């Protein structure tokens, strides 16, 4: 039973991480996937229902504040890792202004 709760929590966190990925890819300064800049408006729009759905699902199962912690933890992790990964991939390449 406890493993089922963990899987449910992980699913909420993954949806929230996907929302953060959409937000990061829609940023003008990201160089991780330049083709995503053409769909920036759609990605920003998509991040809202993903984050809202993750928060609603986590809140229903675990309570509002625990749900906020799950979602914000996943979003924070992704928004910390992606810029670092982007910089690591671009090391040695001069940035174009």
14 occurs within a structural domain: yes
22 occurs within a structural domain: yes
95 occurs within a structural domain: no
45 occurs within a structural domain: yes
Question: Cβ(84)–Cβ(27) under 8 Å?
Answer: no
Per-residue pLDDT at 2 exceeds 80: no
Residue 69 structural domain: 2-90
Query: How many CB atoms lie under 10 A from the CB of residue 51?
Result: 21
Per-residue pLDDT at 1 exceeds 80: no
81 occurs within a structural domain: yes
The two tokens of residue 39 are 């769909």
* pLDDT tens string 16-58: 999 999 999 999 999 999 999 999 999 999 999 999 999 999 9
Per-residue pLDDT at 59 exceeds 90: yes
97 occurs within a structural domain: no
Quickly tell me which residue has 């609603």 as its tokens. 56
The two tokens of residue 71 are 């979602």
Q: Average pLDDT in the 86-91 region?
A: 90
Tally of structural domains, the chain: 1
């Amino acid at each position: 039973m406890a493993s089922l709760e963990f899987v449910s929590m992980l699913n909420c966190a993954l949806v929230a991480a996907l929302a953060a990925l959409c937000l990061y890819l829609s940023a003008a300064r990201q160089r991780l996937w330049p083709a995503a800049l053409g769909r920036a408006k759609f990605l920003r729009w998509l991040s809202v229902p993903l984050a809202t759905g993750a928060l609603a699902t986590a809140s229903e199962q675990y309570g509002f504040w625990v749900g906020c912690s799950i979602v914000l933890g996943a979003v924070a992790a992704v928004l910390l890792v992606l810029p670092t990964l982007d910089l690591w991939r671009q090391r040695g390449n001069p940035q174009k202004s």
